[in-house]
Structure 1
Amino acid sequence: MSVNGTIHLHALRLLRTELGLPENFRESIIIKYDEVFGMVDLEVVELIDRNDKDGSFGVAKVESWRKKEYTEKWLSEFEVKYAFPIHFPTGFKIEPGSREKLKNWQRLPYVKPYERELTYHLNAQTTETMEPSSRCYELMSRSAVGKRTFGGVERYEKRAVAIIHEVLSLTVEKSVPVERLAHFKKDLGIVVNIRELLLKHPGIFYISTKGTAEIVFLREAYSKGCLIEPNPIYDLRRNMLDLLLLGNRHTSELKTEREVKDEPKDMTDDENGWESREGDFVIPILGSFTDHEDNDNMN
């Protein structure tokens, strides 16, 4: 997706957890598979072979949704070729005239993230075609003519939407801290304000403001707060989180052997020896379920 086939390692490090990469991914993946990746310098990695021979390498995730809409819902190619799945939040009110603007935006052609030949429409009469290079970024930055027309700035913004959509689709939980996306702007040729772009498309992206960091989620990937198509890494992380939360809930109840011996016994005798009072373990268990439900609601 990058404009010249390279990307800075510091940007990948910032998204290492989100992308499911190991801590030593530079050595264990990039350097190990030198037939695929090459180090331009200490902090820049490039893709050596960028030729997509079988046509499957550079297919964006959204294309599978478009194919499904075209084949299963019998929608015209004109309607779905450049469209994105839109899921507005509950209670969202569409302003008068916005529905028609959205329909036009969905139909608007744009340069897709993995396209090898980039054509930028600077105005209605002029086009410029080039191979991906650093000149693409320069061209988009100085395209004041195109930014005065719907076909100018909207095409650039839609390409940026497509790139961010694809980046989110590649992550484990289909979410990324907003501020970390800014580190990919130059490599991916994004020249617009990312946060403003995300807020401009609430039907595609959702920004969570809980906690200290803003996190953007891909709306289509979630239903009722849960990932629709979980992956093995996501399932493992959820299971580990459940175990950690379970341990935290019962930490206050765990005591050392010395503390147990020193405490006065609050039990009653029965024919087999000691028996705990009925209900001693009921309240903690119910409390753990309550905490779990609260956490799920926050998510």
Structure 2
Amino acid sequence: MRDLIDEEEKIVKEYEPELLQKVKKLLMMSKNGTLHVHALRLIRRELGLPEDFRDSILRTHSKDFRLVDLEIVELVDRNESLAKAEVEKWREKEYVDKWLSEFETSYAFPINFPTGFKIEGGYREKLKNWQRLPYLKPYESKEVLRVRTCGGIERFEKRAVGIIHELLSLTVEKMLEVDRLAHFRKDFAIEVNVCELLLKHPGIFYICTKGSTQTVFLREAYSKGCLALPNPIYVVRRKMLDLILLGHRNTRSLEDLEEIKEERNGSVFRTNVGGRRDGDWIVPILDSYDQNAFGSLGDINDSKQPFDGCEGGRN
């Protein structure tokens, strides 16, 4: 586990230019080019940012960012080459590969309904009209959208879908706790009920309700419970999770044991790695471990895996 933690830190340092672009893109999506540092801190691990990102990224790159005060970061200059959402790249691919008209793809989103999803009468037509509905894209100028105009509410909600879609696309595991989205509502001008919005679009988002928190996944990014296009940070975190899921198996190979002391009942032994011997196995005690090391991997029972058994995923 120590080796994997060191490996993750090394990868984060190597990918600093990419992480720098992520922060820039988030600031470019905000209506005033500013974000609360506290909001970034809450999703630090989801974005793959280092623990000291305020100093190592925000303060170090003063040409790109300006700390207005202790809790507000401002974008110094926009980089229009970054002003392209991930869904727009998908649209271009769909236009080329499937020979679809620009009218069909200009404002469309990838839709992947879960297995067994029941489509009610008239739903397909509504979805088709929604896919064609123009909206203000995440990196476009933040003009005031009049909700009372024709299609105003739908366009306003579709813009919010686009921003959440892009935010999830920037994360390491294409997932985020729903509660943490609330910290970006004001800066991103998505003053809508986020939970209701996500539930209205089951073909785009998947909400996991297992455990004490709700987690939203970008449905298109996953295939059979794992990322379709894994990245290095995701890979090393999966290794951490796999190591935890091993439980007490194969732990006889633990090295550098200082002392094994048998208690009177003969069932418990103590070691220098904070473990206990239970029968023939040494079981690591994880209670004292820094839980932040596991980040967004969630509970060790794999409760945050997207797509439960009914959707062809892994239980």
| Class of the TM-score when normalised by the shorter of the 2 chains | 0.7 to 0.9
Larger radius of gyration: 1
Give, in angstroms, the shift of residue 41 of structure 1: 1.5
Query: How is 1:89-100 mapped onto 2 (pairs within 5 angstroms)?
Result: 89-100=114-125
Distance 2:241 2:250 in 1: 15
Equivalent in the alignment of 1:72: 97
Give, in angstroms, the shift of residue 118 of structure 1: 3.0
Distance 2:253 2:43 in 1: 37
Equivalent in the alignment of 2:285: none
1:59 equivalent among 60, 79, 84: 84
Give, in angstroms, the shift of residue 3 of structure 1: 0.3
Distance 2:248 2:183 in 1: 35
Contact kept in structure 1, 2:31 and 2:142, CA below 8 Å = no
Distance 2:33 2:84 in 1: 16
Residues 258, 180 of structure 1: alpha-carbon distance in 2 compared, 3 angstrom cutoff: closer
Deviations 1:216-273 (Å, cap 9, x if unpaired)? Answer: 00000001111000000000111122223336445699895555xxx8xxxxxxxxxx
Equivalent in the alignment of 1:10: 38
2:71 equivalent among 36, 40, 43: 43
Contact kept in structure 2, 1:31 and 1:38, CA below 8 Å = yes
Identity fraction in percent: 65
Distance 2:183 2:261 in 1: 54
Contact kept in structure 2, 1:111 and 1:119, CA below 8 Å = no
**TM-score normalized with structure 2 length:** 0.71
Equivalent in the alignment of 1:25: 53
Equivalent in the alignment of 1:277: none
Contact kept in structure 1, 2:224 and 2:314, CA below 8 Å = no
Query: How is 1:61-140 mapped onto 2 (pairs within 5 angstroms)?
Result: 61-116=86-141, 118=143, 120=145, 122=146
Distance 2:142 2:177 in 1: 30
* Letter in structure 2 aligned against 1:116: S
Contact kept in structure 1, 2:37 and 2:73, CA below 8 Å = yes
Query: How is 1:169-180 mapped onto 2 (pairs within 5 angstroms)?
Result: 169-180=169-180
Q: Please tell me the root mean square deviation across aligned C-alpha atoms, in Å.
A: 2.8
**TM-score normalized with structure 1 length:** 0.75
Residues 202, 76 of structure 1: alpha-carbon distance in 2 compared, 3 angstrom cutoff: same
1:241 matched to 2:241? The reply is: yes
Deviations 1:178-217 (Å, cap 9, x if unpaired)? Answer: 0100100000010110000000000000000111110000
* Letter in structure 2 aligned against 1:239: K
SS at match of 2:246: helix
Equivalent in the alignment of 1:191: 191
Residues 298, 72 of structure 1: alpha-carbon distance in 2 compared, 3 angstrom cutoff: closer
Give, in angstroms, the shift of residue 94 of structure 1: 1.0
Deviations 1:107-143 (Å, cap 9, x if unpaired)? Answer: 00000000136363x3xxxxxxxxxxxxxxxxxxxx4
Give, in angstroms, the shift of residue 42 of structure 1: 1.3
SS at match of 1:118: coil
* Letter in structure 1 aligned against 2:67: M
Residues paired across the two proteins, number? 244
Equivalent in the alignment of 2:163: 163
Distance 1:16 1:188 in 2: 18
Distance 2:39 2:260 in 1: 49
Distance 1:29 1:257 in 2: 45
Distance 1:64 1:41 in 2: 36
Residues 25, 77 of structure 1: alpha-carbon distance in 2 compared, 3 angstrom cutoff: same
Structure 2 gap segments, 5+ residues each: 1-28, 267-279, 281-300, 306-312
Distance 1:164 1:177 in 2: 12
Residues 95, 247 of structure 1: alpha-carbon distance in 2 compared, 3 angstrom cutoff: closer
Residues 79, 206 of structure 1: alpha-carbon distance in 2 compared, 3 angstrom cutoff: same
1:217 matched to 2:245? The reply is: no
SS at match of 1:4: coil
